[in-house]
């Protein structure tokens, strides 16, 4: 599949699924080889957090203490703050590493015009661009401070109406596409980080509705699929709870343990599924980037003309 190709809204969809169908096995195989340790660590952190949280919640419910969480927070505020900060830092760093994987994958795919590359080339791409990734993290946070204020106000206004709520995935898609295209361009090495963000906005505004609609729909599908899994898990847990509890309210410990297990399993399944779906969304954004870049710079068109000239 040619990445540098002019596409419309439907082609953004079709080529994303065509790419996954053709190269998905290779893509996800190397994703979990390269980023498997990050996924595992985040899952372990999430597991202990969910286990810890559910134990507090259900122990409070069983003891008729609605303030169990507040009481624990007040008694362990310093420990909670340290763990929370540690979790946020690890999540950001590991998240960016996983976030960058489709960037390096598509870059190698474009360079080789195929998937004849493997884990070593991907790891080397991380090593070469490690400094750029950290620059991207810092600058993204700096840009994100004013954007969060504006974006938060927009989201708040959208919550007022039903139409606005339905438009939220598209607002998130626009912001995500802006950031991801900046990273894709910055990793090309021909622009500074600030120029890359400016270039990203230029591309985004060139075909705003089609690009944002495509990403927004992918986000919406991802959100629906993940929540369906969560709802199914909780329905199963509730059914089990009502069929287990006795008329006298016995088996409370068993119920609490079962619901904790349901929440933890639901978290792990949703996390893994979310990781896969997030990569699908990012691949869609990558295809949009190369398409918009082709329309802006005519890279593939120039290559074809050069090849014709060399043959003559």
Distance separating alpha carbons of residues 97 and 135, to the nearest angstrom: 13
User: Is residue 22 assigned to a domain?
Assistant: yes
Quote the DSSP letter at residue 49.
H
Task: Evaluate whether residue 201 is within a structural domain.
Answer: yes
Stretch 198-217: mean pLDDT: 93
- Per-residue pLDDT tens digits for 117-134: 989 999 999 999 999 998
- Check pLDDT > 90 for residue 274: no
Query: What pLDDT score was predicted for residue 97?
Result: 86
Predicted confidence at residue 149, as pLDDT, reads 80
Residue 191 counted as domain residue: yes
pTM of the predicted structure, to 2 decimals: 0.83
User: Per-residue pLDDT for 157 more than 50?
Assistant: yes
Which range is least confidently modeled, 49-53, 116-120, 211-215, 226-230? 49-53
In a domain, 3, yes or no: no
Does 63 score more than 60 pLDDT? Answer: no
- Gap between the Cα atoms of 24 and 268, Å rounded: 22
The answer as to whether 158 is a domain residue is: yes
Report percent pLDDT > 90 for the chain. Answer: 37
Mean predicted confidence (pLDDT) in 262-286 = 86
- pLDDT exceeds cutoff 60 at 64: no
For residue 207, give its domain range. Answer: 9-307
If you average pLDDT over residues 10-22, what whole number do you get?
A: 93
Residue 258: band (very low, low, confident or very high) from pLDDT cuts 50, 70, 90: low
- Is residue 100 a contact partner of residue 133, using CB atoms and an 8 Å limit? yes
Residue 247 covered by a domain: yes
4 assigned to some structural domain: no
CB 41 within 8 A of CB 94: yes
Lowest mean pLDDT among 99-113, 188-202, 206-220, 253-267: 253-267
User: Using one digit for the tens of pLDDT, what is the confidence trace for 44-59?
Assistant: 777 777 666 666 555 5
244 or 282: which carries more pLDDT confidence?
A: 282
Judge whether 162 lies within some domain.
yes
Indicate the pLDDT class of residue 23, thresholds 50, 70 and 90.
very high
100-114: pLDDT as tens digits? 999 999 999 998 888
DSSP 271-299: HHHHHHHHHHHHHHHHHHHHHHHHHHH-H
What's the total number of domains in the chain? 1
Q: Write down the pLDDT at residue 170.
A: 84
Residue 195 confidence (pLDDT) above 90: yes
Distance CA 291, CA 179 (A): 16
145-154 confidence digits (pLDDT tens) = 888 788 777 7
Three-state secondary structure of 168-186: HHHHHHHHHHHHHHHHHHH
pLDDT at 185 over 90: yes
For residue 311, the model assigns a pLDDT of 47
Residue 10 buriedness (CB in 10 A; 0-12 / 13-18 / 19+): exposed
Instruction: Return the minimum-mean-pLDDT range out of 123-127, 183-187, 270-274.
Output: 270-274
Query: What is the rounded average pLDDT of the residues 51-76?
Result: 58
Report the chain's mean pLDDT, rounded to a whole number. 81
């Amino acid at each position: 599949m040619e990445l540098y190709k002019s596409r419309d809204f439907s082609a953004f969809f079709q080529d994303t699924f065509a790419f996954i169908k053709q190269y998905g096995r290779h893509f996800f195989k190397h994703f979990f080889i390269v980023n498997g340790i990050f996924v595992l660590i985040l899952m372990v952190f999430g597991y202990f957090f969910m286990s810890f949280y559910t134990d507090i919640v259900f122990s409070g419910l069983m003891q008729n203490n609605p303030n169990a969480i507040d009481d624990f927070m007040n008694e362990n505020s310093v420990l909670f703050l340290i763990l929370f900060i540690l979790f946020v830092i690890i999540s950001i760093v590991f998240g960016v590493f996983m976030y960058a994987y489709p960037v390096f994958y598509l870059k190698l795919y474009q360079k080789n015009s195929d998937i004849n590359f493997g884990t070593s080339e991907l790891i080397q791409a991380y090593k070469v661009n490690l400094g750029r990734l950290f620059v991207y993290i810092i600058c993204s946070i700096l840009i994100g401070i004013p954007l969060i204020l504006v974006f938060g106000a927009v989201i708040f206004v959208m919550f007022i109406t039903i139409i606005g709520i339905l438009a939220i995935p598209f607002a998130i898609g626009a912001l995500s596409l802006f950031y991801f295209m900046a990273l894709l361009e910055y990793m090309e090495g021909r622009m500074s980080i600030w120029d890359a963000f400016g270039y990203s906005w230029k591309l985004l505004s060139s075909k705003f509705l089609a690009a944002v609609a495509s990403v927004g729909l992918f986000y919406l599908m991802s959100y629906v699929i993940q929540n369906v899994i969560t709802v199914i898990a909780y329905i199963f847990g509730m059914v089990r709870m009502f069929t287990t509890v006795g008329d006298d309210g016995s088996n409370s410990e068993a119920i609490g343990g079962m619901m904790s297990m349901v929440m933890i399993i639901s978290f792990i399944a949703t996390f893994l599924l979310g990781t896969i779906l997030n990569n699908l969304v990012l691949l869609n954004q990558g295809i949009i980037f190369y398409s918009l870049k082709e329309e802006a710079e005519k890279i593939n068109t120039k290559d074809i003309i050069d090849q014709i000239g060399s043959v003559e």
